[in-house]
Structure 1
């Protein structure tokens, strides 16, 4: 589930490890589905040992530990992955532990920078070490402009000729990086655009509203440290829940009253095998924008 707001929250939460030097990398015992780690842990240990964390960055839905030799550890949480400085939700799904030098044996309640933990309940995430060239070729050049920084012109240029429904197209990471199923639904509701509308039939005003809604929804979700859904899986770096789930307008609100028109009811349909939530009364295929109350 982690999308741009959740991954951005993880990145901000683990910034205390910047400047720390890696002492040990290990895979804790786990009897669940193994997570993808490349290269093998022994090689990863050799490559990261004595390396200093120079920066923490995010690219789309990926957390990146950037080291002083320009290499990166690219962590893609996917469905249920977390990157933590605090104790994980449970020890059974802990996938990777990075310990830093000068760590105290017993961590105090206020010192959470002694180690970095990667936890993943379903084991669908990936952890890959890459040098600078590998990162540029395998990750950076394959992703579109980041959703927080894409311009309105870039958005329309990347998607405007597509015959796909706009909700499905917004999930294309090669076109715009970071938006997932949850936030695509929230963005289109705020923009007043029917998620079933083909991209090549959207008007210029609709594209402008979608672009504005992308920034508003994502920044607001980051401010609330992401969304923790009913399964409780997503947590921030200190193992605390996010708060944006309390701000959702349509996502997972099927059969509830529309928060804008109050007369419509939130519907659920399936697009590209994923649930889409919207209000047919407010989100129109025409270029007109519904009034906001």
Structure 2
């Protein structure tokens, strides 16, 4: 599933190239997770002003509204002047004066949703519950610590929940907890202020590193130029069950939390 780094990598790969484009046509394939919310013809003639990100949502600012794009479980965006002929998994295509933006999503859990702006109830329903952006100046260690003290569940689940901080998905939750030396089953409220500061720093470091490496390509993720990510090659614990820890050589363990796989080192993450 594309996580925050993959979404940010996707944004960076086409945001500058599409800025200023005039929308010529919009066509839809099979239904996605949520309906577009307007007639495709309503988007024709609008200009793409900028591309932003909020959590795992891409926000395309238009001259007459806002498009919110979510990649779901298996989605990816392509943008170019000469894209291949649309295939059976291409479910949204926006032809512009600068190139074609296309959403490919085999499982169709992604979505493209139109809203008048961010104050529109449609947009607020999707964005209002999202926590602080981890790569922004708003993500400070003290507020993060206070948020953890209010939560009684395991820290891994709190990170995935997206309310204390947004966008730390399953891959990166295992990685940041390893870097911070915190066991994934530790209750969030039990984490001390110094250890919360370590975790805060680890979140920023791991996510920034993942963006720099183009995200993680475990199956079929690629950015809008078709380039795969390489962070998975440097993962310390994720998907390494049974292999030696890169720090202490102890075999990496795995467990299930909330129907998701968690990976950790029992020696480096003792509590």
Structures share a fold, TM > 0.5? yes
Q: Provide Cα deviations, 1:35-72, integer angstroms capped at 9, x if missing partner.
A: 135335xx332321111011100000111111123x21
Q: How far has the Cα of 1:206 moved from its partner?
A: 1.0
Task: Determine the C-alpha separation between the residues in 2 that align with 1:63 and 1:48.
Answer: 17
Task: Determine the C-alpha separation between the residues in 2 that align with 1:130 and 1:141.
Answer: 14
SS state of the match for residue 85, structure 1?
strand
Does 1:60 find its partner at 2:55? yes
Residue from 35, 48, 63 that aligns with 2:43? 48
Task: Determine the C-alpha separation between the residues in 2 that align with 1:91 and 1:168.
Answer: 37
Does 1:278 find its partner at 2:267? no
**Contact 1:89–1:239 (CA<8 Å) still a contact in 2?**
no
Task: Determine the C-alpha separation between the residues in 1 that align with 2:173 and 2:267.
Answer: 18
Residue from 259, 264, 279 that aligns with 2:246? 259
Q: Provide Cα deviations, 1:87-132, integer angstroms capped at 9, x if missing partner.
A: 479822101110013xxxxxxxxxxx41100110111111111112
**Contact 1:268–1:277 (CA<8 Å) still a contact in 2?**
yes
Structure 2 segments unaligned to the other structure (5+ residues): none
Q: Which residue of 1 aligns with 2:9?
A: 9
Task: Determine the C-alpha separation between the residues in 2 that align with 1:93 and 1:39.
Answer: 17
Task: Determine the C-alpha separation between the residues in 2 that align with 1:157 and 1:119.
Answer: 40
Superposed counterparts of 1:10-49, under 5 Å: 10-15=10-15, 16-28=17-29, 34-39=31-36, 43-49=38-44
SS state of the match for residue 218, structure 1?
helix
Residue from 50, 57, 78 that aligns with 2:72? 78
Residue from 171, 174, 194 that aligns with 1:185? 174
SS state of the match for residue 144, structure 2?
helix
SS state of the match for residue 46, structure 1?
helix
**Contact 2:115–2:123 (CA<8 Å) still a contact in 1?**
no
Structure 1 segments unaligned to the other structure (5+ residues): 102-112, 286-293
SS state of the match for residue 176, structure 2?
helix
Task: Determine the C-alpha separation between the residues in 2 that align with 1:256 and 1:67.
Answer: 48
- The alpha-carbon distance between structure 1 residues 88 and 63, as it changes in their structure 2 partners (threshold 3 A), is farther
Q: Which residue of 2 aligns with 1:174?
A: 163
Q: How far has the Cα of 1:174 moved from its partner?
A: 2.5
SS state of the match for residue 145, structure 1?
coil
Q: Bigger CA drift: 136-145 or 19-28?
A: 136-145
Q: How far has the Cα of 1:21 moved from its partner?
A: 0.7
Q: Which residue of 1 aligns with 2:224?
A: 237
Q: How far has the Cα of 1:136 moved from its partner?
A: 5.4
Q: What TM-score do the two structures reach when normalised by structure 2?
A: 0.92
Does 1:96 find its partner at 2:92? yes
- The alpha-carbon distance between structure 1 residues 161 and 89, as it changes in their structure 2 partners (threshold 3 A), is farther
SS state of the match for residue 122, structure 1?
coil
SS state of the match for residue 276, structure 1?
strand
Task: Determine the C-alpha separation between the residues in 2 that align with 1:11 and 1:78.
Answer: 15
Task: Determine the C-alpha separation between the residues in 1 that align with 2:177 and 2:78.
Answer: 31
Q: Which residue of 2 aligns with 1:109?
A: none
The 4+ residue runs of structure 1 with deviation greater than 6 A are none
Q: How far has the Cα of 1:138 moved from its partner?
A: 1.9
Does 1:206 find its partner at 2:195? yes
